[in-house]
Each structure stands twice: as structure tokens, then as C-alpha cells.
Chain A
């Protein structure tokens, strides 16, 4: 993408219908997409900003956020090789999973992408959304906005109206991709990023795909805004392992909706990790839309300082004989707030549903951290197996004393407890690089309590 010629209106503060039109024209989009974007903008304008009076936003206060104050678009230089990417991004790649395809979105633009020749030869497509629109318009048109429609919520409206960059992955029928495919989103301006992910895994294919979000901002910087949408289509007998690794800098406000649809006997394993950002709100919805489909949903979050980390999950059992198993674990320290709201919904006719949901929270320290846990069941079929459970507790002084009596210093003992706590999730992660990254991130979070930062 060229760094020149970005219309002035996209580079100035404020979002408006002119911005939507200018963006669509700048990307030289087909008219159906321009119309979609405009329709989404109209919906966005009509929809009031959610408040704490709305059930879905009861604990997460976004009244201070002025979305329309952000700069809608920021360009970035094209690069040919990984070696020309910002050093911090190269480090992320080096420390990440080995990958068979790579895409880097830097601010609003895709700065590089690469696919192993072998995968290309098998017909695998992995590119940014604008390129996909030019080269594979039919399938993009058919699937884009299918799972996260413009009227899903106000943030989804905006994401549809103003998305840019993004990634499109298509895995053809029967193709098994062994080495993960990785997408990085890097934000180094004060402004906004609106990435979209569209993944289509065709019949019998299998793949692992990772979206990773990172930026260098600190809590002293001005707010930046990330507003994403992720649509995952997994065909009959296909398998998708999807990882979302949110590790934004502390000045980012992160909103994301991840929704999936599973074909007959398909399986989707999602792992949603939320560690960064000042405020992070993620909706994760698995549609069990065909018999025999299976969804494992793992979540891991750790909030410190004044962070707010909010997850809303849905296990939507539409078809009969489907299985879902959710495990979200989170820790909170300092003055942080975490929210987990999880619903298992069994629709009429979804007999023989097998659905589980567990949320566990650990409060560290005796400060003002808080964890809200709202597990819910909504069952409209009579032959189902469903269960949910939720716990919130502190690190037990008795446990710490036990470990300290063996010579282990308090900080190390706390680390063991926290790692043990998250182990239930991390032990289920088969990706070594992701697991190591998580261990390091958790370690850093434990090591940086507010008292120690002051000391």
C-alpha cells in the first residue's frame, strides 16, 4: 500500500460519512462494499453508545471514550523483507511460533505478507482484505460481515464502516496446514486501527491461525483505539485452532468480536488471551451450527494497575449432538477489574447437546482488584448435558506460608501459585511458542506489582 495519496480527511481527527466514502474510494473498492460501509455507518450513527445501564455493559464503563475523536487512518511503509520491519515487530516474530505464512498489519495498512511456496501451490490464500477483494472477490463478498454483521453492536458497525488492512485466510478442501499461520497487528501512532480477520477453512482442511496485537504505547501516552472483528468459518469435518493474543500497550482501548460457525463434525479450538490495553472488551461466540461440531474455548487474562478486561462469551448450540467446553481463567491485581460473562444457549431442537463452562478468577494482593463472574445457562431443549461453574478467590496465605516454609521467597511462592492456577489453561495449549510467550507475560505481570513499581 502506498504511503502517499492518503486523503487528508483520513489523517485528521474525527469520523464521519465523508471519512467512510474517502476510505472506500482510496481503497478503490467495488460499489457493493462502499454501500455496505455506508449502511454500517448509518447503523453506527443510529445506535446509541452503550452505557452501564445496558445488560452487556453493566460493569465496564466506557462513558469517557470519545470514539469520534480518534484519527481514523494511519499509513505505514511497505517492506519487502522481515528485516525491514520495525525492530519490535521482528522481535515478536522471532519469539513467536514458527510460521508457514505471515502477515503484518502496521497501523491501518498491511506492511508485508508472505506465504510458503508449498502452501501457495496447494491453493492456500493468505493476504490482506483489500488484496483479497481484488483477487478473490466472490468468496470475500459471500463471507465478509456474515458472522459479525454491521448491526451486531455499535463497535461492529464502526468496524464494518471503517475497517482497513485485515487478513483473509482461505484453506482449500482437504489441505492440512501443519505449521501455524501468523498475523501481527502493530500500532505505533496515536490513532485507531480497525483490523478484520476473515478465515474460511474448507471441508476436511485443518489449520492453526494466530492474531497477535502489540504496540509500544504506555499508560502515559494518549489513548489509541483498536476495533476489530473476527469471522471464522469452519467447514464440514474441518479443524481450526484460532489464537487471539492481545498484548497492546497500556494506552490502547481494545474492542473485538470473534464469532465462529462450525460445519458438521467440525472442530474449533479457540484461545483468547488478554493481557494488554487500558480497557479490553472481547466478545467470543462459538456457533455450534451443525451436528457433531465441537468447540473448545480457552481464555486467559491478567489485569493489573487500572486495567479493565472484559470477556463476553457465548456457546450457541443451534444444532443437535454438538459439544462445547469453555475454560476461562483470569487474575487481577492492584485496582484492576475483570469481567467474565458467559452464556450457554441451547436452542430448541439442539438435543444431545453437551456443554460445559468454567470461569475461575484469582485476586492477587489485598488491594482493590475485582473480578466479576457471570455464568449463565439458557436451555430450550430437554435432552442435554450442561454444566457451569465459577470461582473467585485470593492467593491463600496458608499456601504461601507452606511454600515459604520450604525456603521459597514470597514472590517466588506467589509465582508458583499463579503459574499453577493458569496451568490448567496453558497445559492445554499445544503451541510451544505461544505457551512460552504467555509464561513470560504472566511472569512480567507478577513481577510488576504497583508497590514494586513505586519502590
Chain B
């Protein structure tokens, strides 16, 4: 593994990004080590989803300052597909619907794109069956068109299925918990926990503390107005749950209102 000094997987430094000329990220700093799971919490509009999208290279956002280094490589120089092949993954809050492209076909193309050696159809089939079982998905699911007509829960499950299939080094989960009932949430958490290990890192972006009961984070960060304003252990998440985001605003938001 090149340039992975001291197990540092992801390093975001002074990241500024804007959309349509409006600055959303105003200097984000974040470090995630190999094997760690971090949670980023924050109120609506704090820039959490923007951070997730910018890390993966969403074309509508422009990075104006700062850097993202993943596994020793400068991510900002890479196209989204190159980032994926380097080992990054984003579970989308609102995944696109792709009519006419089946889940199986999509996954086959994606898995073979990130792997150095292509899987033969039998290996692919077995892998898919195995991962769908973990996600409690019916085999017929693979024949449906990608996200077309999926319920909110099915879309989220499908995102985690892709996570399992692609087996990345770093997963960014953008509000994967929102809109899920408790059963679906548990299935999603189970998928993520399946990945957990010394070679896997994750950044969980969430509005609520709820998912952190099922996926225990190593670090919790709080985001407000385009910056990470405070960080701590998992107790910070509980504190947030008790005190609410108004507390964060009072504590860290003064004088930063734009």
C-alpha cells in the first residue's frame, strides 16, 4: 500500500467547495485511519451531503481550496470512476434510477470495473447470491431495473448490496439511515458491519444518532455551516441526541452566520 503512513486512510484538509458560486464547504478537516468508522453528524444544510459528494467527485461541485488524500493519492485529480477503482465508495442518499439496466447487469459491469481480474459469470452469480442473502433480498431483485420503482428502503438496501459487492477500502454512507424503519435499518447496519474489519474504513453521514446504536463509531464529528466544529468519541453522539442541534449552534455557531 503506497504512502499509507501510520494507517491514515483518508485525509481531508481545509476543504472548500461551492455549487453555482455559493460556498458550501468552508474549510473541512478530517482524518480517518485504516479500520476506523467515523460518524459525521449535523443539522440540515450544514454541508454533510456536499462533503460526501465532493469526496466522490460530483461534477456539480467545484473545489476551490484544500485537498483530499485517499490511501496516499490526491483524489481531486481523479474522476469518480478512478476514485472507485482506488477503493472509495459512496452510498447515495438519493440513488439515480436507470431504466433498462438491471441490477445484475449493473453490478456485473461495476464489479468487473473495480477488480483487476474479471469474475466469470458463475463466480459473479455466486457472489451476488451470497451478498443478497446478507441483505435479505429476494433473488428476483437482481432482474429489476436499477432503482426504478424501488421503495425508499429497497434503494438503501441496494446501495449496501453494492457496497458488499464492490468491497471498497472506504465507504461513505450519505444518510443511508434516513427514511428507514427499524427492520430495514437493522438490515442496512448488518451489511455495513459485515464489512467491518482492519482493512475497512467508513464515514457515516447522518442526521440522527439512531443508526449509531447498530454501527458503533470510533469517532464522531459535528458539522455546522460547512466546517467540522467539534469531534469526540461515541458519547458526543449521545450528547447531541440529548441536547439537540440548537446546542451545537449556540456553542459553535456564534459569529459564523453568513
Contacts and interface: CB of A to CB of B under 8 A. Distances in A.
Contacts of B60: 397
B81 A408 contact: yes
Contacts of A419: 100-101
Interface residues of B, number: 29
A422 B81 contact: no
Given A397-B60, A416-B106, A406 B166 contact: yes
Given A399-B96, A402-B92, A422-B100, A408 B59 contact: no
Contact of B101 (A398, A401, A405, A417): A417
B110 interface: yes
A409 interface: yes
Interface string A417-432: 1011111100100000
A267 B79 CA distance: 51
Residue in B83, B100, B114 whose Cβ sees the most chain A Cβ within 10 Å: B100
B64 interface: no
Contacts of A396: 96
A401 B58 contact: yes
Given A402-B92, A405-B90, A409-B113, A420 B100 contact: yes
Interface in B193-237: none
B134 interface: no
A419 to B, nearest CB: 7
A407 interface: yes
Given A417-B98, A419-B101, A422-B100, A406 B59 contact: no
B96 A407 contact: no
A429 to B, nearest CB: 14
A420 B90 contact: no
Nearest to B162: A406
A96 to B, nearest CB: 25
Nearest to B94: A398
Given A397-B60, A410-B81, A403 B114 contact: no
B96 A402 contact: yes
Contacts, number: 86
B80 A399 contact: no
Interface string B103-118: 0011001100110000
Interface size class of A (residues with CB under 8 A): 20 to 34
Interface string B5-34: 000000000000000000000000000000
Nearest to B114: A407
Contacts of A427: 100
Contact of A399 (B57, B81, B98, B145): B98
Contact of B95 (A402, A404, A407, A423): A402
A405 B84 contact: yes
B165 to A, nearest CB: 9
Contacts of A422: 100
A404 B92 CA distance: 13
Contacts of A423: 99-101
Contacts of A417: 98, 101
A398 B85 CA distance: 19
Nearest to B84: A407
A424 B99 contact: yes
A404 B56 CA distance: 9
A416 B60 CA distance: 21
A118 B145 CA distance: 43
A412 interface: yes
A274 B166 CA distance: 38
Nearest to B56: A405
Contact of A408 (B57, B95, B100, B110): B110
Nearest to A421: B100
B156 to A, nearest CB: 14
A404 B79 CA distance: 8
Contact of B109 (A402, A405, A412, A424): A412
Contacts of B81: 404-410, 413
B101 A408 contact: no
A405 to B, nearest CB: 5
Interface string B123-159: 0000000000000000000000100000000000000
B60 to A, nearest CB: 7
Interface in A365-416: 396-399, 401-410, 412-413, 416
Nearest to A397: B59
Given A406-B113, A412-B109, A420 B98 contact: yes
B101 A407 contact: no
A150 to B, nearest CB: 42
Contacts of A402: 92, 95-96, 98
Interface string B43-78: 000000000000011111000000000000000000
A362 to B, nearest CB: 11
Contacts of A412: 109, 113
B84 to A, nearest CB: 4
Contacts of B79: 404, 409-410
A266 B110 CA distance: 45
Contact of B110 (A399, A406, A420, A424): A406
A408 B113 contact: yes
B145 A420 contact: yes
Contact of A416 (B59, B90, B101): B101
Contacts of A410: 79, 81
B179 to A, nearest CB: 18
B131 to A, nearest CB: 14
Nearest to A419: B100
A401 B80 contact: yes
Nearest to A360: B99
A424 B95 CA distance: 21
Given A397-B60, A407-B85, A407-B166, A421 B110 contact: no
A404 B80 CA distance: 6
Nearest to A420: B100
Given A406-B166, A408-B110, A427-B100, 12 more contacts: A398-B96, A399-B98, A401-B58, A401-B80, A403-B110, A404-B81, A404-B84, A405-B83, A406-B81, A407-B84, A412-B109, A424-B99
Q: Please give me the 9 A-B residue pairs with the lowest Cβ-Cβ distance, nearest first.
A: A420-B100, A423-B100, A407-B84, A406-B110, A407-B114, A407-B113, A404-B80, A420-B101, A402-B96
Interface of A: 396-399, 401-410, 412-413, 416-417, 419-424, 427
9 contacts: A398-B96, A401-B56, A402-B96, A402-B98, A405-B83, A406-B81, A406-B113, A408-B81, A416-B109
